[in-house]
Structures are given as C-alpha cells and as structure tokens.
Structure 1
Amino acid sequence: MHITDTYAACDLCPRGCGVNRLSGGKGYCGETAELRIAAAGIHRGEEPPITGGGGSGTIFVSGCNLGCGFCQNWQISRAGMGRMVTEGEFARICMTLQEQGAENINIVTGSHAVPALALGIKAARAQGLTLPVLWNSSAYESLTALDLLRDIAEVYLPDLKTLDPALSARFFKAPDYPERAAAAIRRMMDFRELRFGPPRTIGPDEAGSPRVLRSGVLIRHLVLPGYLGATRQVLRWYADNAQGWALFSLMTQYTPPNPTEADIPGRAISEAEYETLLRWLEEFEIEDGFYQELVPGNTDWLPNFEKPNPFSSELSQPTWHWKQPVQRPS
C-alpha cells in the first residue's frame, strides 16, 4: 500500500472522518490530499534549543484538525489561506531554508497531512537536506500517523493543551484530546531520546548560541487565563510521566486573536497568575525546560499571513509565501 492510500478513507487523526481525500473530499481539517502551505521562513521566536544561532526553518501547513477558538494562526487553520505545493516544491523550500542557515526544518500543524509531508521530506533528503526535522503539532494525532513519521522526524514539539476533557471539548472541540494527546506524547518519547549538538550558526550573544536539540521531545503548554487549575494538571503529568525524558516549555503568551469567539478568555495572564505558575514550577521541581517572561499586551505573537512576513521582522525572515513562488538563492 502506498503511503498516500491512507487518504482514501482518512483516519490520520483521532476524528477518523473516513473521508476520501484522494477524490477531493475534505475532512474536519478542511483539506483534501493536496498539501497546502501558507508560509515558510527563518523564525527566531522559538525556545533556545530550537532557535539556536541560525533560527528555526518553519513551514506553516494550512488546515487543522482541532477547533481552538483562540488560535493565533486562524487565518491558515480556519480561514483557508495557503497554496498547494508539489512534492518537489516542498523539497526546494526545505533546501532554501537550509541554505539560509536554519538549524532545523520546523513543520507546524501538519497532523492531517502526514503522508504528503513524509514524501516531501524524503524528496528533500534526496536533494541533500541534512537538518533535523521538527514535528510541531497539537499532539491530537493517531498513533498510526505517528508511526509514519518514525523515520522522518528527529525532534517532536507537541502541545499538551489540557488534560481536562470538559475544557478540551469547550475550547478545542475535541473531548478526547487529553487521552489522545497523552498517548501521542508517550509514543514520541519512545521514538526519540534527548540529544543535543552545536548550532550551525553562532548567534549575536558574545557567549555564543545554546546547544541545539537534535533529537527528542519538547512539550509545550499554553496557559489559559482564569484556568490555572488545568495548567497544574499538566505540570503534574509532566513531572510524573516525562521529567527526564522530555523538555518542558510553559507558555504565557496567550493573546485573544482577531476575530475572537465569545467563549474564550478575553484577557492576558495576570501578574498574580504568573507568580503562581512560577511557584508551581518550583513545587514540581521542573527544571528541564523553559518559561516565558510575562509581557502583557504583546501582539507580536499574532501573525498576519496576508503579509509576506507574517511575524515581526525581529522574529522572522520570510523565505516563501503562499501568494508568491519560492525563490532559491543562486
């Protein structure tokens, strides 16, 4: 069976839509079997071992299998922005990022497009891609789909959004998210052990750039204002199940996007909540990871995929955009 045959009755994610995407059908993700992406570029806003000195070579995939009401990438996850790319064009984008000094190839939100992405990465490897591939996802994916990535991805950046089924049903439109995500993250940890290497590029810091993650898992959790109890559940799960096997990143960048939905938090994390989070990190003795500084009202986190550079110029360097053809350097 060819890898793309899994699109014929799609069960790549836990929703198991069963749609024939090969014939043009669309599942919950809103995508057919054709791979669509919205943007690619060098991103410097990730965690230190992901960014390194050269930045992370991010590729934003269109569509999504979750329904997060506060999605910062709503233009591509829900509003349809993006352009279909062939296997060869995807490979050229990867090669361009490598030539521009990226530390890795960071595939964002590709859970619904695993077969096409796997073929694209293999094509890039055949052209000389040597960078580690990062699988940057919500962790809402089937174990079968993850197995297709076993020999493709070296680093996994899964979200662990919540372990509360009521919250996952309310905010992510997936009541089974907690059990599915926990199982997926365990599988990722089985695949890859933590391994670091020197950066390809020395950053502006005189002390040099941090070691770059070449293999392993970094679990991310975005704190929701007013729902710190859900975060405490996640911290406990990490301490009990992943400490020593994966890194942890506590993210406090929640910013209500535009347009917003009524049933989502309408404010940023407060200073009092932030202090509570720091105490909990100490309580659970979580030291293998990172936490963001609290910067209330920082809208730099909100991209605009209508623009050639969706992010702040300080955060990213554009390489490819869905409204423009890819350009390889001479």
Structure 2
Amino acid sequence: MSECPAHAPADHPKVPREKVGVLIANLGTPDDTSYWSMRRYLSEFLSDKRVIDYPKWQWQPILQGIVLSIRPFKSGAAYDSIWNKEADESPLMTITKQQVAKLTTGLHAKYGDDVMVDFCMRYGNPSTPSVVKKMVEAGCTKILFCPLYPQYAGATTATANDQFFRALMAEKWQPASRTLPPYFADDAYIDALAASVERAYAAADQEPDILICSYHGLPFRYLKEGDPYHCQCQKTTRLLKERLGWADDRIMTTFQSKFGPEEWLQPYTVEEVARQAEKGNKKIAVIAPAFSADCIETLEEINEEIKESFEHAGGEHFTYIPCLNDDDAHIAALMGKITENLKGWLD
C-alpha cells in the first residue's frame, strides 16, 4: 500500500507504508543442471575470495581453464541425481521456499503487516541485490539479514553478509540493517537436532553404533588465521551429546567436501566412516548440523558418496538423518532467534 506522506502537498509522490524486512539467505543453487548453468554458478561460487582466497592471477587461470571445463559436467550429473523434477528446481530451493512460507506465517501472526519476509541466495538466483532492492521498493526501512548457517565461517556467513552490504551500497536510501548472529549453541536449535536424532534412532531397524556429525570442511589454514568455525562445530556436537545424554564414544565430529591440495579440517568424513566400519562399527548414522536445508552436499555427497565409502569398507547399515529443513522445531528455533533480533524494531 502506497500513500502520500502526512502533511505533504497533494502532488507529492506516493510512498509505500514503512515496514521491517526479514531476509533469509542461503548458499545458492544453479538454475538447472545444464553445462552452462552449472558453469555460471560454479564460476560465481569458486571466484569468491571468501571461499578460495588464492591470488586472482594464480587461481583464475586454473578455475576458468581447467576446473570449469570439467567440473560442470560432474556437478551437473550430481545435481541431476537429486533434482526436484516436479518443480524443476534443486532441493535447496524447494526447502528454502518451504522454510520461508512457515516463517512468513509465524512472523505475520506475531507482527502483522509490519513485517515483510523474503529469501535470497549468495550465489545464483534470487540474488541478494535483487531481493534487497525489492524490499526497499516495498517500503522496508529496516532489514534483518538472516544467513541460515548455525556456525559462523568466513566462507559462509561472512560472504553472505558481504553481499548484503554490497547490495545496500546500491540503494539511494539505505535501510537500517542488522545481521543474525550464529546460533550454534542455541538451546532450541540443539533441541531440534536432538529430537531429529531420537526420531531417526527410534525408526531404525538396528540402533547405530555411532553418530557421525559431518560438517562442511574448510582449509585448516583458516582455523589458524582466526576463523571460529571449527570450534563452533565442536561445541554443537558436544551440546548435542549432552542433550542426548550420551557417552563420548557414541558421537564424533568430522568434516566433508574437501577441495584442492591443501590440508582441510580433519577427520575427513569420507575416510572416517570407512575407519569406523573397519574397526567393527558396522551400523552408523550421519547427521549434518551445519546445513539448515538438505542440498547437494547432504543428499548426494553424504547419502551417496560417503555411504558408498562406508559400505565398501564393510559397513552394513547406514542411516542418514535429514537436515532440519522445515521441521516445526527448526522453524520455532529460527523464529526465536529472529524475534530476539527484531527487538527495538518490532516488539
């Protein structure tokens, strides 16, 4: 709804009613699984200095000449194996829409038309600048930017925030802004994780010998340079263990998705699941607490590649515990963090 400001002359341009924006952000997704769509997406992702911080002169010739000539075919096939054919979109896109729909319902019930909820992706579409522009044009004079990463990392939370701030630079009238802090130790988030584990264990034909908490990896060098991600992942696992009331040997932290020649955070999930099988833990469960929604790294990498590594080493029963996605407990946890960070703007 647009109207002339009070006390303004009759010919004053109409302006939209002021509201607060809540902008949900996730990593991103290609538009489809074709070579050129995958190449555009991977080029944007792998050109991000927060993700791969090698000098441009060193990295770009390798990326544009070698990596992007080959990897789009492999990545396209991986995406195709999990693609939501009915909606013609990636599972991450489908799940993000479901999350935003529930958050919109909850926030509108609490704040009415004073809040506008939308989502964007760091890479691909809908782009962060396009959605920020839409929110500003709709009358959002304040925006809470919410990267859905429980644990902070420069390559996830920080680069999402960077893109949000760059989008604000293009606005003549910038809205006031806040960013959602990481919530790796939030009680409601830990409770939601624990409930998902309990449901999976109750439904399993045979109880797993060990739960592997597999987090997306980072180069080990990033930890030495001050990135807190590794420590926050370890704390999430510890709090989950305590919430479940388990002994130390029933749960462990690992890291997946290693890329390039550097040493990354260890132990590597793909190697650790094989070690577990070889040492006699023939029944394992894997959960991915760093991912707010199932995506290529969980549906394809964990549930296919990592599962295959476990079974090849003699593992017998592999249980993948899905991400929290749009589970009501997860939405309630996110609602709690969002409303906490809207205080002073909306109460």
The structure with the greater share of residues assigned to helix is 2
Structure ID, larger Rg: 2
- State TM-score, norm by structure 1: 0.25
- State TM-score, norm by structure 2: 0.24
